[in-house]
Amino acid sequence: MDEIQKTEKSFHFDLYRRLPVTLVRGEGTRVWDSSGREYLDFLSGIAVNVLGHGHPAIIRAINDQSAKLIHVSNIFYNEPQARLAELLTGISDFERVFFCNSGLEANEAAIKLARKIGNEKGKKGPIISFTSGFHGRSIASITMGSTKHQQGFGPLPRGFLKLPYNDVSSLKENVNDETVAIFVEAIQGEGGVNPAHMVFMVALQELCKKYEVLLVGDEIQTGFGRTGRLFGYQHYPILPDMITVAKALGGGFPIGALLSSSSLSSHFKYGDHGTTFGGNPLACAASLATVKTIMSENLIESAAELGKYFLEMLQPMRDRIPQINEIRGKGLMIGIDLSFPCRPVVLKMLEKGFIINCTAENVIRLLPPLIITKKEIDRLIINLEEAIIEEIP
């Protein structure tokens, strides 16, 4: 344990099960620890660093903007915020943007907007979410998420209902004209990299239209090319009423957003919602550089191609290792479902010089930067197979 780790353990809340490494520098797909050891990053700060580490466009944008103006509050207009709103509405299916600082804040904004609209329509039903979902760690968002994140925090807010993910019959039994909104992830990330079934998403859209229920797509982990599409919902013939985004939006700089139509956004009036830091010039400048680079360098199409290659190259491993239950995902969002807890595999891969993640106890989650190469994917697969075999109980 180095001095930084000892200091952190002495003064920080004991909330994280950190890997025993202190990272000090990054470049592209690689990071280095305090001892100078190099690692290939297949986690991207949990789907955040889509352009890798130290990308010149992001560094340049942050340097240039920080020399001009870092923060002014939303009492004033600022150019990076206006330009980013224009860009996001131009490349998406939505007309209005509210900026905040994180995915959690984006979801809280969506909850409030859905409630406001529901109340105006006289709806008295719940906001629906799904088992194994994850929408943040506020009191409202843990109520919509996994039971394990709710323990010890009751009483939880009323007005929420959780249904089984990918269960069409449950949807039909519970969605009605009193339902306010439905939050859904096209691929559940924290829940184990679980893609939504086509029939489920189609039924979801149909029921929302039938009963005038707001469909909210949580795109916080799936957005901005991660799945091989700009947004995860675009793998299905649906269109949410609003989406929440964060993570990749800033390329490593904290920023979140809620996107909706103009007609929905108009239900928020002056004072209904707001933020001090959200949409600050520095965050928006970093985001502008990130999104423009994703689009100009065709990284969405690249993620689709690389994801297909990744999954094809992983499948033989499943055939050779019976303890692999399933390999699933889309684009560069991949889960390897094991028959045993996968944290020992994560630690073994760290020894081998690779950063990966374990979620839902037994699912290896792979979220590399969109600039990853086939050669780096090949290196990961060779070492990952060795690590899984070595850690089979």
pLDDT in tens, 334-374: 999 999 999 999 999 999 999 999 999 999 999 999 999 99
Q: What is the dihedral of CA 325, 226, 41, 309, to 10 degrees?
A: 60
The predicted model gives 263-290 an average pLDDT of: 98
Q: Which of 94, 99, 134, 183 is catalytic?
A: 134
Residue 299 has pLDDT above 90, yes or no: yes
The whole model's pTM is what?
0.97
The predicted-structure confidence for 174-190, as pLDDT tens digits, reads as follows 999 999 999 999 999 99
Answer yes or no: 116 catalytic: no
Mean pLDDT of the chain: 98
The predicted-structure confidence for 141-172, as pLDDT tens digits, reads as follows 999 999 999 999 999 999 999 999 999 999 99
pLDDT of residue 113: 98
CA–CA distance, 135 with 274 (Å, rounded to integer)? 19
What is the per-residue burial (b if ≥16 Cβ within 10 Å, else e) of 76-88? eebebbeebbebb
In the chain, the percentage of residues whose pLDDT exceeds 70 is: 100
pLDDT of residue 364: 98
Answer yes or no: 218 catalytic: yes
Nearest alpha carbon to residue 371 among 252, 243, 203, 238: 252
Q: Which of 162, 247, 330, 348 is catalytic?
A: 247
pLDDT of residue 211: 98
Answer yes or no: 247 catalytic: yes
The predicted model gives 97-111 an average pLDDT of: 98
CB 287, CB 248: distance < 8 Å: no
Q: Which of 42, 162, 183, 218 is catalytic?
A: 218
Residue 1 has pLDDT above 90, yes or no: no
pLDDT of residue 291: 98
